[in-house]
């Protein structure tokens, strides 16, 4: 890292090479890569030699090569053909490669990708594309490029099987085409699992036959912009026209689209909390009288977290564990979800369920007496066990957020660990299957740079923190760790461009954490690759955060109560220039070298980063009032 940073993971970096991009910018880092002599140049006519069962991979590769290069690409199954690119499924499987590994050989005459399964060929293609010049990412023809790549021998396979991204389409609805766009971006980095968060207080996004109000009523709220969670309560005359849902045919199309790119879709129906959209649709699912007056949330405050967790609910957004109608309702929902999504798991939420309305419910009190339940944890445990039985009766495996551990669940319940790695470690020791997604490293809704540049939320995860993610943490039983994922909650994400901005480049960090061998991870090498992939995303017209170029501020107060500002950068080789006189700094302004004292009468501090003569970071303006708040009292 740059000025003022002492991150030990990069302390051994070679300072002489810090401004030189890595020779190979492959994300995630392969298991092994050997450079050999020479280059391969793409000819005018490209022949792909493959067998019919490789059609999905061939079609994908043909499109990726044809559009930007303009080359004529054809495919043959005749093994005598003079191939440009050979795709080979091993007759005798290579045990080291598993189901998703591959071997990629590039010589001056031919490219060969070998794998045990077609998924491995697909991931070999992703690596191959990253070897080509960045213009390969273009969606239109680009002329004047030498389409050549260095000769290499690569062997590669994933560290864990579950490599996921969670996309919350409930808080804000994203169209079928936008979900496809998100899938297209994630497969480039060898993610294989898309977790769709389909239901929440703000919307029910899935057509359920026989329960039409879920989408007629539950999928729509009042459009608001600004700071989610603090919106004014909608008035009766504000139109509830914002939202949307997926028909069952939409879901079948998305499942196929994902599967054609070797991605499974995990559906999540979040219950018993986060269920306001369902309750507004069918008020008799609630324990609370008067639920008929509730409306689908538009972003107004409905929870008080000041004393939580669990939160104190201002409206009852929970399904009633004491109501038999709830289990009939869930049986109908889960029956259809199980038929729509071929993936073996169904995620049933279980997080952040408030208990204050349950505590007042006579029906809950009667249930506790009847079932011998001692507290609200056991009430939710009773609910979760019944839901698990429904899920398993449809031939699926039950998964929930780590709060389900409070309910003494059987080991057949899989756990997605979000509150911290400790819950996942505990679950693995109790023989639950576990997917690690700790919020302090993998939550993509959190800020990724200074709050003056970001949509403000309660916390932040910079790229370096995301890169520290280890899906198999010390103390866990690795036999039960299925893998890891990053989660994009969308309360403050209003459109697909912002969804991309929040996902990348932290998605690179998670991808490398779940695919690459732990010992191959190297921060300095990784950040060099990130810069190269920014250029690729520019050409692909995928949005990303440039936050890695922005200064990191650490504000404190001296013994004599002066405000002190210490600056550093995540990226090596950056210089920080600053001003306190309200003008815009450039590289001729004072350069930061040591901790600064904020001048007595200054009103703002402005910052910019350069690499040599080139502007790299965004112009940051931080008020002195803000600096005072950050410094706190002394």
Q: How far apart are CA 312 and CA 302, in angstroms?
A: 9
**Which residues does 463 contact at the CB level (< 8 Å), separation at least 6?**
448, 505, 506, 509, 527, 530, 547, 548, 570
Alpha-carbon distances, residue 150 vs 31, 363, 511 (angstroms): 18, 70, 24
Catalytic residue status for 23: no
Q: How far apart are CA 585 and CA 620, in angstroms?
A: 10
**Which residues does 368 contact at the CB level (< 8 Å), separation at least 6?**
374, 378, 379
Residue from 202, 352, 403, 454 carrying the catalytic annotation: 352
CB burial of 97-119 (b: ≥16 within 10 Å; e: otherwise) equals: bbebbbbbbbeeeebbbbbbbbb
- Smallest Cα–Cα separation from 273: which of 380, 166, 197? 380
Question: Judging by beta carbons within 10 Å of its beta carbon (0-12, 13-18, 19+), is residue 150 exposed, middle or buried?
Answer: middle
CB burial of 489-525 (b: ≥16 within 10 Å; e: otherwise) equals: bbbbbbebebbbbbbbbbbbbbbbbbbbeeebbbbbb
Long-range interactions of 525-530: CB distance < 8 A, separation 24+: 525/22, 525/29, 526/27, 526/29, 526/467, 527/463, 527/570, 527/571, 527/572, 528/20, 528/21, 528/22, 528/25, 529/21, 529/22, 529/25, 529/26, 529/27, 529/29, 530/27, 530/463, 530/505
Query: For 504-602, where are the alpha helices, taking DSSP H only?
Result: 506-515, 523-540
Q: How far apart are CA 625 and CA 634, in angstroms?
A: 16
Please, which residues bridge with residue 313 across strands? 303
3-state secondary structure of 447: strand
Q: How far apart are CA 46 and CA 42, in angstroms?
A: 7
Q: How far apart are CA 35 and CA 106, in angstroms?
A: 9
Backbone phi and psi for residue 366, each to the nearest 5 degrees, phi listed first: -65, -40
Task: Give the residue numbers annotated as catalytic, written as ranges.
Answer: 352
């Amino acid at each position: 890292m740059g000025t003022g940073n002492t991150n030990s993971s990069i302390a051994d970096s070679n300072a002489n090479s810090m401004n030189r991009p890595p020779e190979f910018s492959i994300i995630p880092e392969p298991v092994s890569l050997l450079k050999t002599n020479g280059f391969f140049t793409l000819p005018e006519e490209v022949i792909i030699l493959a067998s019919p069962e490789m059609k999905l991979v061939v079609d994908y590769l043909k499109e990726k090569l044809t559009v930007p290069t303009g080359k004529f690409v054809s495919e043959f199954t005749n093994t005598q053909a003079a191939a440009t690119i050979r795709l080979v499924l091993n007759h005798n499987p290579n045990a080291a490669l598993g189901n998703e590994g591959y071997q990629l050989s590039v010589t001056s005459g031919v490219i060969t990708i070998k794998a045990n399964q077609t998924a491995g060929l697909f991931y070999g293609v992703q690596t191959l594309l990253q070897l080509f010049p960045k213009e390969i990412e273009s969606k239109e023809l680009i002329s004047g490029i030498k389409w050549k790549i260095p000769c290499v021998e690569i062997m590669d396979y994933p560290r864990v099987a579950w490599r996921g991204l969670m996309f919350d389409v409930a808080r804000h609805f994203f169209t079928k085409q936008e979900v496809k766009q998100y899938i297209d971006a994630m497969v480039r980095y060898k993610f294989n699992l898309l977790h769709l968060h389909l239901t929440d207080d703000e919307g029910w996004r899935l057509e359920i036959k026989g329960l039409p109000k879920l989408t007629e009523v539950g999928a729509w709220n009042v459009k608001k912009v600004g700071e989610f969670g603090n919106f004014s309560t909608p008035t009766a005359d504000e139109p509830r026209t914002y939202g949307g849902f997926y028909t069952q045919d939409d879901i079948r199309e998305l499942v196929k689209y994902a599967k054609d790119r070797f991605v499974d879709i995990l559906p999540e129906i979040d219950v018993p909390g986060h269920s306001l959209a369902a309750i507004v649709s069918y008020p008799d699912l609630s324990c609370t009288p008067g639920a008929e007056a509730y409306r689908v949330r538009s972003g107004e405050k409905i929870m008080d977290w000041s004393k939580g967790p669990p939160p104190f609910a201002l409206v009852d957004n929970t399904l009633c564990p004491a109501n038999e109608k709830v289990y009939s309702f869930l049986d109908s929902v889960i029956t259809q979800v199980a038929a729509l999504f071929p993936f073996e798991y169904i995620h049933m939420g279980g997080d952040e369920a408030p208990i204050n309305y349950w505590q007042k419910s006579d029906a809950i009190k009667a249930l506790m007496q009847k079932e011998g339940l001692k507290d609200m944890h056991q009430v939710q445990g009773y609910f979760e066990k019944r839901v698990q039985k429904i899920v398993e009766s449809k031939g699926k495996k039950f998964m929930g957020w780590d709060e389900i551990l409070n309910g003494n669940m059987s080991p057949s319940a899989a756990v997605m660990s979000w509150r911290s790695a400790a819950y996942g470690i505990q679950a693995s020791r109790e023989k639950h299957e576990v997917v690690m997604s700790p919020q302090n490293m993998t939550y993509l809704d959190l800020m990724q740079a200074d709050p003056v540049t970001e949509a403000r939320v309660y916390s932040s995860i910079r790229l370096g923190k995301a890169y520290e993610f280890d899906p198999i943490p010390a103390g866990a039983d690795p036999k039960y760790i299925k893998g890891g994922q990053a989660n994009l909650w969308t309360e403050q994400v209003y459109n697909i461009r912002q969804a991309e901005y929040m996902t990348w480049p932290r998605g690179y960090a998670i991808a490398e954490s779940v695919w690459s061998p732990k010992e191959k991870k190297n921060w300095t090498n990784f950040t060099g690759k990130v810069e190269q992939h920014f250029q690729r995303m520019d050409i692909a017209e995928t949005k990303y955060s440039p936050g890695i170029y922005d200064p990191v501020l650490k504000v404190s107060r001296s013994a004599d109560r002066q405000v002190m500002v210490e600056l550093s950068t995540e990226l090596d080789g950056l210089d920080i220039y600053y001003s306190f006189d309200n003008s815009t700094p450039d590289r001729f302004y004072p350069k930061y070298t040591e901790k600064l004292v904020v001048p007595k009468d200054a009103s703002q501090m402005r910052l910019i980063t350069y690499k040599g003569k080139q502007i790299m970071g965004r112009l940051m303006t931080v008020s002195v009032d803000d600096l005072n708040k950050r410094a706190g009292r002394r």
